[in-house]
Amino acid sequence: MGNLNWEVSALGFGCMRLPTKSIINKETNSSKQVIDKEYAIEMIRYGIDQGINYIDTAWPYHDGESELVVGEALKGKYREKVKLVTKLPTWLIKGEEDFDKFLNNQLKKLQTNYLDVYLLHSLGKDLFETVKKFDLVTKMEAAKANGLIKHIGFSFHDSLKVFKEIIDFYNWDVAQIQYNYFDPNYQAGVKGLKYAADKGIAMIIMEPLWGGKLTQSFSEVEDIIKKAHIKRSLADWAFQFLWNQPEVSVVLSGMGELWQVEENLESANNSAIGSLKKEDMEIISKLRKTYSKFITIPCTNCEYCMPCPNSVNIPQNIRFLNDFIWFGEEQRERFEGLYTKFLKTKEELKESEGKGAGNASLCIECGECIEKCPQKIQIPEVLKKVDAILGKKQKISNFF
């Protein structure tokens, strides 16, 4: 765990995908998904009883409900058994008083007097400016001096260059990055992992299964794992890839069912740094190549095409399309929901002060981005398809 003298569990409980159930509002006759509280508490406590001692939540998870349920789950003897982590919603910081307001509220929701780690949530280029503008690190230090938080860190979503800038900015205790075997160079990637770990920063990994994609079962991937020299599930291969690396402190998994907790615990119990041999790495490499065939648009997220003069967030829009094609029409509602959260007009983008991402419909087909793309992707053509499929409800099969 970097420079922290902690014995943490290899597996951390990510509380962003807790089990949910539907409740009906009789007045409006509409239904809403809420956390299945009893089941979630049972799962979290089971995980802790079996040795998980790192619990990760955040202000926005489950529309604010996750922190409340985690607080309930840790009541009494469970709180002292774990390292509790939550995150400051940096994008909601608009004034000097907001830091204390959120921290106090989060402590109350979590029914605790202190956090083991407080992370600045989702830093990237723009939110890093917010951190500097409101001097949030100094505020973190003051909260630490008051005993409200024990350690300081950030979670991250941007390029390697920005990651290094943020790492060099402060003597962080913890950094949380997205990392998995499918695309080890995505965002901070393996280079960022090593860079930060070399400085003694504890590295927490999120999205180990790439949002569940690396457990999608196709006959070709099933063939690979069936023929492997050792019996492992798809999820297990993805986890072992991470736990094999000495720089990785904790791997978070957002578990939504008890069987997932059980399976992941078993994987963690069978893990060790440096345990993967050449033949294991060959299986992982075959899985990576096979999954790559299901990526329709070969965007590597390098961001060379950015910025778009018309504020389109090109790689993110392409990623939505790739992910939607991968998961298929049955996930339409989810992806349309994600896509509609992207901003559609210049006015909205202006109001978001650079924090919002532009939707594919903003593309005016100026063509400026095309020659910057090393993958030779016909970006305006692809963006038209993104908007037709996710913005105008056309079927994937009309295009691919």
Q: Which residues contact 350 (CB under 8 A, 6 or more apart)?
A: none
Which is nearest to 85 in space by CA: 249, 209, 197? 249
CA–CA separation, 136 vs 92, rounded Å? 12
| Residue 296 Cβ vs ligand SF4, minimum distance, rounded to whole Å | 13
Give yes or no for residue 235 binding ligand SF4 (CB under 6 A). no
Instruction: Please give the single-letter amino acid code of residue 73.
Output: A
Residue 11, phi then psi, degrees to nearest 5 = -100, 130
CA–CA separation, 11 vs 265, rounded Å? 7
Q: Which two tokens stand for residue 390?
A: 């996710």
| Residue 307 Cβ vs ligand SF4, minimum distance, rounded to whole Å | 8
Give yes or no for residue 3 binding ligand SF4 (CB under 6 A). no
Stretch that binds ligand SF4, among 45-53, 110-118, 219-227, 365-373 (CB under 6 A): 365-373
Q: Which two tokens stand for residue 141?
A: 């230090």
Site for ligand SF4 in 260-299 (CB under 6 A): 299
Give yes or no for residue 366 binding ligand SF4 (CB under 6 A). yes
Stretch that binds ligand SF4, among 183-191, 196-204, 288-296, 366-374 (CB under 6 A): 366-374
Give yes or no for residue 368 binding ligand SF4 (CB under 6 A). yes
| Residue 184 Cβ vs ligand SF4, minimum distance, rounded to whole Å | 16
In 10 A of CB 296, how many CB atoms? 18
CA–CA separation, 384 vs 251, rounded Å? 37
Closer residue to ligand SF4 (CB): 41 or 314: 314
The site for ligand SF4, by CB under 6 A, has a size of 28
Out of 47, 192, 208, 380, the residue judged to bind ligand SF4 by CB under 6 A? 380
Site for ligand SF4 in 111-170 (CB under 6 A): none
Out of 184, 337, 354, 367, the residue judged to bind ligand SF4 by CB under 6 A? 367
Angle at 291 between CA 290 and CA 294, to 5 degrees: 105
| Residue 124 Cβ vs ligand SF4, minimum distance, rounded to whole Å | 15
Give yes or no for residue 375 binding ligand SF4 (CB under 6 A). yes
Q: Which two tokens stand for residue 149?
A: 């938080």
Closer residue to ligand SF4 (CB): 182 or 241: 182
Stretch that binds ligand SF4, among 3-11, 264-272, 321-329, 364-372 (CB under 6 A): 364-372
Residue 260 host element (H or E): helix 258-269
Closer residue to ligand SF4 (CB): 143 or 308: 308
Give yes or no for residue 381 binding ligand SF4 (CB under 6 A). no
| Residue 379 Cβ vs ligand SF4, minimum distance, rounded to whole Å | 5
Give yes or no for residue 365 binding ligand SF4 (CB under 6 A). yes
In 10 A of CB 260, how many CB atoms? 18
CA–CA separation, 57 vs 84, rounded Å? 8
Q: Which residues is 358 bridged to in the sheet?
A: 312, 343
Q: Which residues contact 253 (CB under 8 A, 6 or more apart)?
A: 11, 12, 13, 14, 208, 209, 239, 260, 264
Q: Which two tokens stand for residue 21?
A: 């159930």
Report yes or no: 143 and 109 within 8 Å, Cβ to Cβ. Answer: no
Report yes or no: 159 and 187 within 8 Å, Cβ to Cβ. Answer: yes
| Residue 380 Cβ vs ligand SF4, minimum distance, rounded to whole Å | 4
**Cα 40–chain centre separation:** 20
Site for ligand SF4 in 298-357 (CB under 6 A): 299-305, 308-310, 312, 314-315, 318
Q: Which residues is 83 bridged to in the sheet?
A: 54
Angle at 282 between CA 280 and CA 285, to 5 degrees: 115
Give yes or no for residue 259 binding ligand SF4 (CB under 6 A). no
Three-state SS at 309:
coil
Closer residue to ligand SF4 (CB): 174 or 369: 369
In 10 A of CB 117, how many CB atoms? 23
Stretch that binds ligand SF4, among 24-32, 206-214, 266-274, 360-368 (CB under 6 A): 360-368
Out of 364, 381, 394, 395, the residue judged to bind ligand SF4 by CB under 6 A? 364
Give yes or no for residue 251 binding ligand SF4 (CB under 6 A). no
Give yes or no for residue 363 binding ligand SF4 (CB under 6 A). yes
Give yes or no for residue 255 binding ligand SF4 (CB under 6 A). no
Q: Which residues bind ligand SF4 (CB under 6 A)?
A: 299-305, 308-310, 312, 314-315, 318, 363-369, 372-373, 375, 377, 379-380, 383
